[in-house]
Amino acid sequence: MDLRRLNVVLMVLGLALGATVAFLVQSEESTATEAEQHGQRSLDVTRAATAQVQAFLGIDHGNVDAQAQVVLDGATGEFKQQYAEELDSLRRSARAQQSTAEATVLEVGISDIDATTASVFVAADTVVTSNATDGTSRTVPWRIQLDMVKEGDRWLTAGLQFVG
Over residues 42-62, the pLDDT tens digits come to 999 999 999 999 999 999 989
Summarize pLDDT for 62-98 with one digit per residue, the tens.
999 999 999 999 999 999 999 999 999 999 998 899 9
Is the CB of residue 155 less than 8 Å from the CB of residue 148? Answer: yes
Q: Which of 125, 129, 161 is nearest to 142 (CA)?
A: 125
Summarize pLDDT for 12-22 with one digit per residue, the tens.
666 666 666 66
Q: Which of 63, 60, 81, 62 is nearest to 72 (CA)?
A: 81
* H-assigned helices in 104-160: none
Per the rule left: phi > 0, alpha: psi between -120 and 50, beta: everything else, 148 is beta
The pTM of the full predicted model, rounded to 2 decimals, is 0.79
On the CB side of 53, how many CA atoms lie within 13 Å of its CA?
31
